[in-house]
Amino acid sequence: MTDVDATDFAVVVYREDDRWEAEILPVALTEDLAGLIHALRQQPSLGGTVGLVSVGDDFFVAIRLLGDEVMVFLSDVTASVDWPLAGQVLDYLDIPIPEDEELDQVLPVGDMSIFADLGLDEMELGAISGDLELYPDEMLLSIAGRVGFAPAFERALDAVS
């Protein structure tokens, strides 16, 4: 079991009255993909609902619900070896957990076009998630800035600290 600390958080982001809103979700959802998806479904939004999870200094998960469609993105496939949520994402995506010899490179998996219609293309998302100088929360803040919900995202995170 992993330690849950201040670097673990889950945020739901949605549009309301033509502006972005964000709220913190229970930290327990940083270890439960099914629970996270369920919590995101509880937040109605015309433009879909986004879930962003940062786990430790290791990885992040982005989930986007558009109607019945569920898009999932994991920033680092190697996290699946040590972290329950990352392993659940691979299981959801029907991707096998990497073998030891495949663990030498940080690679994202999942829906690389998760934010393409919001202005963040696959190449940019890959570049952000592959930047080893950034922590997962910093990667998510960069994504939030590019997509346009950084102020709401920052307000939600300020409520945690």
pLDDT for position 7: 63
The single-letter code of the amino acid at 147 is V
The C-alpha torsion from 66 through 69 and 74 to 77, rounded to 10°, is -170
Per-residue pLDDT tens digits for 74-106? 999 988 888 999 999 999 999 988 776 566 677
* Least confident range of 2-6, 81-85, 136-140: 2-6
Per-residue pLDDT tens digits for 14-49? 998 889 999 999 988 888 999 999 999 998 777 789
Closest CA to 76 of 132, 34, 138: 132
Q: Whole-angstrom Cα distance, residue 30 to residue 12?
A: 12
- 14 conformational bin, left if phi > 0, alpha if psi -120 to 50, beta if neither: beta
Q: Are 50 and 12 in contact (CB under 8 A)?
A: yes
Q: Are 56 and 2 in contact (CB under 8 A)?
A: yes
Q: What percent of the chain clears pLDDT 90, i.e. is strictly above it?
A: 65
Q: Are 22 and 54 in contact (CB under 8 A)?
A: no
Q: Are 157 and 137 in contact (CB under 8 A)?
A: yes
Handedness of CA 148, 161, 54, 24 (dihedral sign): negative
Q: Whole-angstrom Cα distance, residue 75 to residue 107?
A: 7
Q: Are 110 and 72 in contact (CB under 8 A)?
A: yes
Q: Are 32 and 83 in contact (CB under 8 A)?
A: no
Q: What is the pTM of this model?
A: 0.91
Handedness of CA 160, 138, 60, 80 (dihedral sign): negative
The average confidence (pLDDT) of the chain is: 88
